[in-house]
Amino acid sequence: MRTPRVKLPDGSVHLVKPPFAGRLSGFTLLFEALLLMLAFEMPFAAVARIVGISPHRVIAICRRYVALVLAEADFSDFTALAINETSRARGHDYVTLAAGTVKRRVLSMTDGRDAKAAATIAGELTERGCPPEQIESVSIDMSPAFIKGVGEQLPNARITFDKFHVVWHANAAVDKMRRIEQCSDKSLKGMRWSLLKDRDSLKPEAAVELDALIARMASVRTARAWVYKERLREILERKQINVVRARLLHWCRCVMRSKVEPMKAVSTLVRRHLEGIVAWAQTRDQWLPGGPQRPVPGRQAPRARLHPHGHHQIRGLPHRRQAGLQRSQSSCRQPT
């Protein structure tokens, strides 16, 4: 449809802008609404194939609407944040995201995953009505760069370390112990995912194999590592901070007396960041629903990737949710 031209008294000629015109020249509002709806569910390239335009035009439309929303954004009521990194493309190419833990809304995104990322996030929050001094709690992983950046840029924030990052390190220790022990115990081959997944989500035959392995806990260190991991998860489910602190210290002592060497590194990590882990039990601030955007140790699981051509600058795009970690029903005694 061609829109009419009008000649103004000063001699200039302008196109009449109809009420159904979109924000980008050549598109209607309904078309752009369809495009934005699709962009929430799939990559830009897939949206471009469906609507029949180039991916660069899709990105341009999304950028335009995100810029309009950010121009009116008001973050003055945010006091708690969750900061985490995720991969933007293949290789070690990361972006850091900050989200509100109450409204579950992405507030800022920047390149990298170092202390400078925290400075960029603090600057963007200030521009939109949220001074750094207003932030009271920040949930992060145990990265030294994040700890340093948050401590410098958000001086009043209480740093917490959520359960999912702690359990991720325990999972990594279980997998490392299995890799070491399977060289001499061939029965551990093929049990990787049975040990890393939640027991309640295993198939019946896999659960039987896991139970048989746990029954050999006295002689198989991988089984002891798994029990330690489940005990740690149970402790972090509690909400009484004094109970959590006491049980974490007891867990660390038991691990350090054991011969499960990979899990000793987790014990050292827990002791070093004990107060931040205990603080999380009180605040329960965490990353976007489903925990951190990190796969279980080993080969990276498939997940939504951010587009290499500026996709990470679209702050309104959602991320795929991961399944929440369920509470374990293990009631085993503390292994040694």
Name the domain count of the chain.
3
260 & 294 share domain? no
CA-nearest of 10, 29, 33 to 19 is: 29
Mean pLDDT of 37-48: 91
d(CA 36, CA 266): 43
What secondary structure does DSSP assign to 73-106, as a single string? ---TT--EEEEEEEEEETTTEEEEEEEETTTTEE
User: To 10 degrees, what angle do helices 221-237 and 204-215 make?
Assistant: 110
Domain that holds residue 271: 163-282
Percent of the chain at pLDDT above 70? Answer: 82
Inside any domain, residue 237: yes
Write b or e for each residue in 104-142: b if 16 or more Cβ atoms lie within 10 A of its Cβ, otherwise e: eebbbbbeebbbebbebbbebbeebebebebbebbbbbb
150 & 244 share domain? no
Write b or e for each residue in 270-298: b if 16 or more Cβ atoms lie within 10 A of its Cβ, otherwise e: beebbebbbbbbebebbbbeebbbbebbe
155 & 289 share domain? yes
276 & 184 share domain? yes
d(CA 114, CA 110): 10
Question: Which pLDDT score, from 0 to 100, does residue 162 have?
Answer: 86
180 & 261 share domain? yes
139 & 238 share domain? no
Inside any domain, residue 12: no
pLDDT at 213 over 80: yes
Inside any domain, residue 9: no
- Residue 295 sits in a domain whose CATH number is 3.30.420
- Interior CA angle at 289 toward 288 and 290, to 5°? 110
Residue 317 one-letter amino acid: L
pLDDT at 186 over 60: yes
112 & 96 share domain? yes
pLDDT at 226 over 80: yes
In tens, the pLDDT along 85-118 reads: 888 777 778 889 898 888 888 888 888 888 899 9
Query: What is the helix (H) or strand (E) element at residue 140, kind and residue range?
Result: strand 137-140
Inside any domain, residue 327: no
* Residue owning tokens 């000063």: 10
Inside any domain, residue 39: yes
* Residue owning tokens 């020249």: 25
46 & 100 share domain? no
193 & 242 share domain? yes
151 & 177 share domain? no
CA-nearest of 187, 303, 244 to 195 is: 187
95 & 168 share domain? no
Question: Which pLDDT score, from 0 to 100, does residue 20 have?
Answer: 72
Question: Which pLDDT score, from 0 to 100, does residue 236 have?
Answer: 92
d(CA 322, CA 198): 13
What's the mean pLDDT when you consider all of the chain? 81
* Sign of the dihedral through C-alpha 234, 239, 240, 245: positive
Inside any domain, residue 290: yes
Q: How confident is the model at residue 286 (pLDDT cuts 50, 70, 90)?
A: low
Inside any domain, residue 143: yes
Contact of 92 with 59, CB cutoff 8 Å: no
Question: Which pLDDT score, from 0 to 100, does residue 329 have?
Answer: 38
Mean pLDDT of 188-193: 89
170 & 270 share domain? yes
Inside any domain, residue 50: yes
* Residue owning tokens 């080969």: 299
> Picking from 78-92, 223-237, 269-283, 307-321, which range would have the lowest pLDDT averaged per residue?
307-321
